[in-house]
Amino acid sequence: MLTFFRKIFTWWNRDTLGTRLKTILIGKFVGKDSFGNKYYESKNGKRWVIYSGEIDASKIPVEWYSWIHFTPNKIEKNHNPEKYDWQKPHQPNLTGTESAYFPNKNKNINEKKYRSWKD
Task: Kindly report, residue by residue over 83-94, the tens digit of the pLDDT.
Answer: 788 888 777 888
What are the angstrom distances between the C-alpha of 35 and each of 31, 50, 58, 67, 81?
12, 11, 11, 16, 16
**How do residues 46-78 score in pLDDT, each as one tens digit?**
999 998 877 878 888 877 888 888 887 665 565
Query: Which residues, other chains included, contact 95 with Cβ-Cβ below 8 Å and sequence gap of 6+?
Result: none
Contact 28, 46 (CB under 8 A): no
- What is the pLDDT at residue 28? 93
Q: With bands split at pLDDT 50, 70 and 90, how would you rate the model's confidence at 10? A: low
Q: Where are the domains of the chain?
A: 26-100
Q: What is the pLDDT of residue 74?
A: 60
